[in-house]
Amino acid sequence: MVTVEKLSKRYGSLCAVSEVDFEVGKGEIVGLLGPNGAGKSTTMKMLAGYLPPTSGRATIAGYDVFSQSLQARRRIGYMPENVPLYPDMRVREFLSYRAALKGVPGRRLRERTADVIELCGLQEVATRIIGRLSKGYRQRVGLADAMSHEPDLLILDEPTIGLDPNQIRAVRGMIRNLRRHHTILISTHILPEVEMLCSKVVILKNGRVQAAGTPAELRAGHGQAGLVEFDAVVPDPLAAAALLRADSSIQSVTHRQDGAWTVFSIVPKPAHDPRENLFRTAVENHWRVREISRPEASLEHVFAELTGGEDWER
């Protein structure tokens, strides 16, 4: 559905996006993540046709976003971070007007407007003035607008920003349901939201792709995915740590005290699992063991590792 190849955007000497590559398959929900200034919004604006690139190429449903802009944009529904709405219009008339601007034929206009009002849960406010709606309802109107011409691809930039937890859950549920009919590219700063919604994640830093894959793949390949925690009572923690480091499957060992227990944090060598060796070592040395565990890394740990732990709210 979406192919991005060596996409770059420069503003004079500033490189906002540098040779970005990724793909989005039909029916996928892909999360675009990154710290402040990583290039997420710039990338989305280029894909939506709002900004021309300095170099590179992107296609939507086989159409080049730049040389076949009109054909590509007909297949895109774009919801920017700050949704531009007409505050003096009523919800239904605004959505009907926007759908007409996007080329929805007159015979289909009323039906399609009713469809997006239902899909986005706007029935109760359909006749109300947009400027008097809550932030949550305005976000829903923006989402309905993006969907009004039945696009193949929805590009959603921070769709839940500024919403309360109940509103976030409602918008998240709508986005999850939309994957049956749309491919979705979403930027968000809520990591649990990414893990719940997205089939694939692309992480940007300084305008470059740092990693891409499913959340499970990223957790397995980065962060603390391989970390093993080993709790034991040992006579000499320093000597025990040195003994553990001698294991050929172990890369590094650190430790801390938790009362009488020494908690060893062990980083295995790639493609190794030292837990069986740890148990054997404990038995041979008569150590009392409380736990040998391999906690799964969170996407937050992966993000912090790949982006240097920066503040990643845009």
Single pTM value for the model: 0.76
Q: Which of 3.30.1330, 3.80.30, 3.30.70, 3.90.320 is the CATH number of 228-295?
A: 3.30.70
**CA dist., res. 150 & res. 168, Å (int):** 23
The fourth-level CATH superfamily of domain 2-221 is P-loop containing nucleotide triphosphate hydrolases (3.40.50.300)
Helix, strand or coil for residue 48? coil
Bridge partner residues of 130 (DSSP): none
Give, in order, the Cα–Cα distances in Å from 232 to each of 15, 40, 46, 300: 51, 45, 54, 28
Residue with tokens 């006749």: 127
User: What pLDDT, on the 0 to 100 scale, is given for residue 290?
Assistant: 93
The domain ranges of the chain are 2-221, 228-295
Residue with tokens 């830093």: 205
Helix, strand or coil for residue 308? coil
Helix, strand or coil for residue 275? helix
User: What pLDDT, on the 0 to 100 scale, is given for residue 289?
Assistant: 95
- Blockwise average pLDDT, block size 10, the chain, 314 residues: 93 92 91 87 91 92 90 91 92 95 90 92 94 91 92 90 82 83 86 84 91 83 70 95 93 92 89 89 95 79 71 36
Q: Is 52 exposed, middle or buried (0-12, 13-18, 19+ CB in 10 A)?
A: exposed
Looking only at Cα atoms, what is the longest distance across the chain? Answer: 83
**Hey, what amino acid is at 175?**
I
- Give the pair of three-digit tokens for residue 185: 């590219």
- Give the pair of three-digit tokens for residue 125: 């406010």
Asked if the domains 2-221 and 228-295 are classified in one and the same CATH topology, the answer is: no
CB 47 within 8 A of CB 40: no
